[in-house]
A and B are shown apart, each in its own frame.
Chain A
Amino acid sequence: MLKLFIASMKMLYRNRQALFWATAAPIIIAVIFGLYDFDFGGSSGRYYDFLLPGLVAMGVMSVSIGATATAIAGYKDRRIFKRILVTPLAPAKFIGAQVAARLVLAIVQVGLLLGVGMILFGASVSGNLVWVFVLAVIGNAIFLNIGFIIAGRSSSAETADMAATLTTLPMVFLSGVFFATDGLPRVFAIAVDYLPLTPLINAMRGIMLDGSSITELGPELAVLGGWVAVSFLLANRSFRFTES
């Protein structure tokens, strides 16, 4: 099992290009906004403090979907699942190792973003960072499932790549990574509240900006919990290990 996990880690970090595109965007944004320290004259406090939780949530999403959809669709393409099925290895163990490797990557990503934001650019974070990582794990679960759904539905790695971009990019702009969603038209704002990234960002802000404890984030956790369940069911339906 350990061997399988280590191998899964190697497959992940040796794919340098995919790794770069999955991890780099939020870090680059964190550095640029840190260097310029924009002030949009918003309500209260420094804009950078407001932005960082959004970037952390975005990082969890892009790593989880980006590193999953294309790679898993590629395995399907190359009959790797079929090859696994003719060995005594239980398919769940293979998937488990792939998931575990991506969880590690997501946690490293969150650590990097917090490091860049807090240490390099002095973002002030009031809440307990442990809750940030707990939320990262929950977000990781949802977005991994979405990655598996995309991989299962895509006919090739290229299609999966495009579908992953089309899934993540609108959420980055709609779910309030950069600006609060208050300004959106009402009907639209309600719909956006139910995208998985929105409650994750709001919960991250609740902890990092307002110093809330995770127990005070009931509504956000409820939506996230719903997404964990629904995305898992859909992933189970869309992604079949047995089809080549």
Chain B
Amino acid sequence: MSEPFVPTSQQVDTEFAVEVQDLVKTFPAPGGGTFEAVDGISFAVSRGEVFGLLGPNGAGKTTTFEIIEGLQAPTSGHSLVVGLDCQRDQKQIKELIGVQLQSGTYFDYLTLEEILDLFGSFYPKRLQPLELLEKVGLVEKRMSFIPDLSGGQAQRFSLVAAMVNDPEVLFLDEPTTGLDPQARRGVWDLITQLNNEGKTIILTTHYMEEAELLCDRVAIIDRGKIRAQDTPLGLVRQLQTAYRIAFVSTTPVEEEELKRLPGVAEVHTQIKTQFGYELTVHRSQETLPAFVDWARSRGLELDDVRVTAASLEDVFLDVTGRSLRE
């Protein structure tokens, strides 16, 4: 550390943890030509935010991550982490970030404590292994080896192993893929807790509920491009039909009458329920009072009335024209 560190690209005390601008990454395509894995992606993540890249497999999420982490060079465009250039200032950036790889594991023949101790020794600033294991409730497993852990424990460990250097920005690549629902919830709690401690977190996922629950903002990415970017609620609100009203009646109802209610876009019958209906509406506050008045005037007895917001799943379908799991 003989030379003082001089920030070159921008001010290091930028408000942004990560900035990505016009990122392009092309690979030679099989059979000639090129394939744009990342095709002009731009986004910025503020400090303390949880930001999600949401998209199906092969959308370009992992490639984007690897460019920011310095593992790959972009074909064009640039990316910054806390104002440092991901290509030029790789060494400083590596000291400031924590990375959890998609389905990555660690050495089989080192104990959890030894792995954390070893990885900590790579950094000038490090946290104590026991302090880290405490965070994820694995202190009593400190002498265990990775193959002895359950899927959820292994995933929690790999998350905390990305934190040995007390990073400013944490990159999580599909942190809950392959976990059972209970283990997934455990990882969600952990991510929330880390964010509450002030960590900026950028994650990729193809689980909509995960993005809705964890992320302050979400970018929907498909075929190398960002198709929409906002808060989860903001994205849902952009939809023409953002809400659903579902109910069950004791007697059949004329669908035409329902369609005449204000703000109703579509009427569906619920397949599994007799006399069950579902309305997709623009704004629930517009439709709901009229709907209640209508039911009263008809003397209908309604059962199980539910108002639900559309989900990111619907947003994905809307912006890409296909379902996420295709």
What is A's interface to B at a CB cutoff of 8 Å? 3-4, 7, 10-12, 14-15, 74-75, 78-80, 82-83, 85-89, 242
The minimal Cβ–Cβ distance linking B174 to chain A, given in whole angstroms, is: 13
Pairs A-B, 7 closest by C-beta atoms: A14-B109, A89-B122, A86-B99, A79-B104, A87-B122, A11-B109, A3-B121
- Provide the B84-121 mask, 1 if CB < 8 A to any CB of A, else 0: 00000001001101010101111111100010011101
Given A80-B107, A82-B71, A82-B104, 20 other A-B contacts at CB below 8 A? A7-B107, A7-B118, A10-B110, A11-B109, A12-B109, A75-B107, A78-B105, A79-B101, A80-B105, A85-B71, A86-B69, A86-B70, A86-B71, A86-B97, A87-B119, A87-B122, A87-B165, A88-B94, A88-B123, A89-B122
State whether B94 touches A86 (Cβ < 8 A).
yes
A-side contacts of B122, CB under 8 Å: 87-89
- Provide the B264-283 mask, 1 if CB < 8 A to any CB of A, else 0: 00000000000000000000
- B interface residues, tally (CB under 8 Å): 25
- Provide the B53-79 mask, 1 if CB < 8 A to any CB of A, else 0: 000000000000000011100000000
B-side contacts of A88, CB under 8 Å: 91, 94-95, 122-123
The minimal Cβ–Cβ distance linking A31 to chain B, given in whole angstroms, is: 28
The minimal Cβ–Cβ distance linking B143 to chain A, given in whole angstroms, is: 13
A-side contacts of B95, CB under 8 Å: 88
State whether A10 touches B101 (Cβ < 8 A).
no
A and B contact pairs by CB, cutoff 8 A, 15 listed: A3-B118, A4-B118, A4-B121, A11-B107, A11-B110, A15-B109, A74-B108, A79-B105, A80-B104, A82-B71, A82-B104, A83-B99, A83-B101, A88-B122, A242-B71
Known contacts A10-B114, A82-B71; A87/B107 CB under 8 A = no
What is B's interface to A at a CB cutoff of 8 Å? 69-71, 91, 94-95, 97, 99, 101, 103-110, 114, 117-119, 121-123, 165
Nearest B residue to A1 via CB reads: B121
State whether B101 touches A15 (Cβ < 8 A).
no
Question: Count the A-B residue pairs with Cβ separation under 8 angstroms: how many?
Answer: 61
Measured between alpha carbons, how far is A82 from B69 in the docked complex, in Å? 11
The minimal Cβ–Cβ distance linking A161 to chain B, given in whole angstroms, is: 15
Measured between alpha carbons, how far is A15 from B103 in the docked complex, in Å? 22
Nearest B residue to A86 via CB reads: B99
Measured between alpha carbons, how far is A14 from B106 in the docked complex, in Å? 15
A-side contacts of B107, CB under 8 Å: 7, 11, 75, 80
Measured between alpha carbons, how far is A79 from B69 in the docked complex, in Å? 15
Nearest B residue to A75 via CB reads: B107
Known contacts A10-B110, A86-B94; A3/B105 CB under 8 A = no
Nearest B residue to A93 via CB reads: B122
The minimal Cβ–Cβ distance linking A244 to chain B, given in whole angstroms, is: 9
Measured between alpha carbons, how far is A89 from B104 in the docked complex, in Å? 18
The minimal Cβ–Cβ distance linking A132 to chain B, given in whole angstroms, is: 30
Measured between alpha carbons, how far is A19 from B308 in the docked complex, in Å? 60
State whether A15 touches B108 (Cβ < 8 A).
yes
B-side contacts of A74, CB under 8 Å: 108
The minimal Cβ–Cβ distance linking B61 to chain A, given in whole angstroms, is: 15
State whether A82 touches B108 (Cβ < 8 A).
no
Nearest B residue to A2 via CB reads: B121
The minimal Cβ–Cβ distance linking B162 to chain A, given in whole angstroms, is: 9
State whether B106 touches A80 (Cβ < 8 A).
yes
Measured between alpha carbons, how far is A89 from B95 in the docked complex, in Å? 10
The minimal Cβ–Cβ distance linking A160 to chain B, given in whole angstroms, is: 15
A-side contacts of B108, CB under 8 Å: 11, 15, 74
The minimal Cβ–Cβ distance linking B110 to chain A, given in whole angstroms, is: 6
The minimal Cβ–Cβ distance linking B295 to chain A, given in whole angstroms, is: 58
Measured between alpha carbons, how far is A78 from B106 in the docked complex, in Å? 7
Nearest A residue to B105 via CB reads: A78
